[in-house]
Amino acid sequence: MALETIWILGDQLNRSIGPIANRQPGECRVLLVESTTKAVSKRWHRQRLHLVISAMRHFAAELEAEGFDV
């Protein structure tokens, strides 16, 4: 059986709400994308861009620690 892949955006980094709120490890895979194209597509404040990327990486690490395939 193929696992469903859940795409998590940079503004959905919350385990309690959003696409993975009711999911358990082993039920799905999680996809987070760090896009250089998106980062250079418009002028971002450096600290904001750093915050979003850092938050995504930390959230991915939390999900991996829970047992999700990220």
pLDDT tens digits, residue range 23-43?
A: 999 999 999 998 888 778 888
pLDDT at 1: 65
- For the chain, which ranges sit under pLDDT 50? none
Query: How many domains are contained in the chain?
Result: 1
pLDDT at 43: 87
pLDDT at 40: 80
CA 36 to chain centroid, in Å, comes to 15
Host domain of residue 48: 4-66
pTM: 0.86
Question: What are the backbone dihedrals phi and psi of residue 42, each rounded to the nearest 5 degrees, phi first?
Answer: -150, 175
Residue holding tokens 């047992």? 67
CA 70/CA 67 separation, integer angstroms: 9
